[in-house]
Amino acid sequence: MAALAAAEQGLTVIVLERSGSLGGLAANGLGATDIGTRGATAGLFRRFTSRVLAHYRSRYGDDSQQVGDCSDGHHFEPSVAAQIFTAMLAEQPNITVLVRQQFDHEVSGAVEMNESRPIALTVTDCFYRCDV
């Protein structure tokens, strides 16, 4: 979500995801939010929950058990969350996503700067070497 917010402000963003899947806890097993006051949510989170609800409506129909169970988009299958996160990121041309990559802050010279602006970044390939 931070990447989306930055891209919407016109910034160029690189997302490094050390595992093979995007979406953090929501896309990897935590399929329910515990927000009691639904009217208090807005912004990117509200866009996400709206897409969850739309997914279940289009797949199963407005009056389906699945639409009821998704609780206005606040309860979802992790695979649905992953699909939605991936789609939201893909819609932003200023975002590059690199999976199985991570930044290693301990590597000397891992970030090359031009004054106060980073111009190069060394990342580690996590396909074989990182604990996921």
What are 42's two structure tokens?
């807005």
Q: What pLDDT is recorded for position 62?
A: 97
List, in sequence order, the alpha helices (H) in 22-113: 24-27, 43-60, 65-69, 78-90
Q: What pLDDT is recorded for position 104?
A: 75
Positions of the chain with pLDDT lower than 50, given as ranges:
129-132
Strand partners, 99: 17
DSSP summary character for residue 105: T
Q: Model pTM?
A: 0.79
Q: What pLDDT is recorded for position 28?
A: 80
Burial class (CB in 10 A: 0-12, 13-18, 19+), 26: buried
CA distances from 11 to 16, 77, 95, 103 (A): 16, 31, 9, 19
